[in-house]
Structure 1
């Protein structure tokens, strides 16, 4: 584990699915794109994209008449807005199920918001007369994708403008990719124990109760089968990371880390660290400030437990994810 202010080296980019239009491909119904600079520039240094446009994939032309989600009184269908002969409900569902199963190796997915095919949530649903149905849904393709891959970190490009959601999504992708690599290498009891130890403080920042439950689960490896425990573990792990971290929980983790420097810091340095942590808790400074200070102190007083913790070191500095949370 790196112990300086640089991120751990990335040996390869992480495979992530993406709505094709977000990469600049002109596949939208009107023949345009929705290129997203954060997706195409910043994240592309770490993500290897697998682009998908489900509407083109099921045979719709570009450009094409627009489609929408429509409630027929029994189910949500995918139909043309003006061209009522367009009915692609089953085609979209079949493609979503097939593609969702095919892409189970991905470590994350970025979807186009508000799209009747790709929207992750809050996509408008209409009645047959064109009036709002009074509820919203996921896009028809996105729904199948997420049902097929319940552990997969999924986010919409619009929500990536929120610093906390952006940091949380990228963190989940990095961690899920680490899990996939662990499984691909051949999961062992020692590997699972080590994985939990590496991520313990990250889990604490998101969901301390689940962190403790996962620790108890790992401790029962001698009593239960490895595969059964692993399945329950990763379900709880991803659910924990999906819970947004808060300033209060981050501050608790930072104080926990400060405890490992007891006896190594001058009193003035300890007071400075406490002041900076409290400034972060109160919203006066971003997370990168106390994290950088603690990284500095641990460079001079390394600790084996802290060195293996991803909490201080996982985030690539050029993405500046901790600078706004």
Structure 2
């Protein structure tokens, strides 16, 4: 039922490392839901599948509940919400918690897409009942909660939230960044390799969190003095924490202006004015981020600005996913 892809060198699109992403099996069309049906999601199954390697997981099936099966729900009980079968009233909380703990201990993925509104896999807004009334709707599913608690920096969403173009773009950017980090660490980290990896990601990190940008810079500066294992762990945690901070229009504008400075001397007056205008229009929420970025990629390539053209900020994931075309709110 569940498959694991372990090739960390596989590439997606134009040289992008393929993220390894856990996913609720039903979202890929597997008939594992309580009614023997599925919840196939078009974006995940038809579009994103071209660029990622899935690790399908269905905790209910792994518990041996089979399909079709009783529906489940959360009930408010002492100690927190309990996972209860709808007809027979069996309490599956302990079994599901143990399964989640075992899964979390061996989970080696770059992100996770859970099934929304599920009492086992939902990431938010799951009702807990007292009798027939929903006492509150602020809960996570029992399985998802344990996974998220064990991996707080793992990119996690449900398929419902991924319908929001801003949330979708942020999630995809993070899973590809995590995949590059995983491939880099698995290759064996040397001070020279760390400097090169960090240099490629500088502008992307800056767009997310300037404080983390400074912290990571200090870590890289110690590459020749800190023990390798400690440096790798510290850098990986700080890198993941930086990407977990949502990029803003203001921070993007700051980075775009940095990029402009790198190619400005190679542009004539008209081309420079076009780029300045595109950045200004993005700042005013008139055009999407893809507009100034397309100009920057073009000018960086034409000017032979190798450092800028190699920045992950310009191409954080395959262009075919077309995720930066929304106008900021």
Q: What TM-score, normalized to structure 1? A: 0.92
The aligned counterpart of 2:123 is: 120
Aligned partner (choices 237, 245, 255) of residue 239 of structure 2 = 237
The aligned counterpart of 1:100 is: 104
Q: C-alpha separation between the residues in 1 aligned to 2:189 and 2:125?
A: 38
The aligned counterpart of 1:48 is: 53
Residue 193 of structure 1 and its aligned partner are, at CA, apart by 1.9
1:159-184 CA distances to partner (integer Å, 9 max, x unpaired)?
11111111111111111111111111
The aligned counterpart of 2:34 is: 29
Residue 31 of structure 1 and its aligned partner are, at CA, apart by 2.2
Secondary structure at the counterpart of residue 265 of structure 2: coil
Q: C-alpha separation between the residues in 2 aligned to 1:153 and 1:190?
A: 28
Secondary structure at the counterpart of residue 176 of structure 1: helix
The aligned counterpart of 1:69 is: 74
8 Å Cα contact 2:24-2:115 kept in structure 1: yes
1:57-85 CA distances to partner (integer Å, 9 max, x unpaired)?
1011312121112221322211123432x
The aligned counterpart of 1:163 is: 165
8 Å Cα contact 1:100-1:148 kept in structure 2: yes
Q: 1:284 to 1:209 in 2, by over 3 A?
A: same
Aligned partner (choices 227, 233, 254) of residue 225 of structure 1 = 227
Q: What TM-score, normalized to structure 2? A: 0.91
For these two proteins, the number of residue pairs brought into alignment is 316
Residue 130 of structure 1 and its aligned partner are, at CA, apart by 3.1
Aligned partner (choices 274, 280, 285) of residue 287 of structure 2 = 285
1:120-168 CA distances to partner (integer Å, 9 max, x unpaired)?
22222223x2323335222111122223333322211111111111111
Aligned partner (choices 6, 14, 20) of residue 8 of structure 1 = 14
Q: C-alpha separation between the residues in 2 aligned to 1:317 and 1:271?
A: 25
Unaligned runs of at least 5 residues, structure 2: 1-11
Unaligned runs of at least 5 residues, structure 1: 1-5
Q: How does 1:164-313 map to 2 (within 5 A)?
A: 164-313=166-315
Q: C-alpha separation between the residues in 2 aligned to 1:137 and 1:226?
A: 40
Which structure carries more relative contact order (alpha carbon 8 Å, separation 6+)? Answer: 1
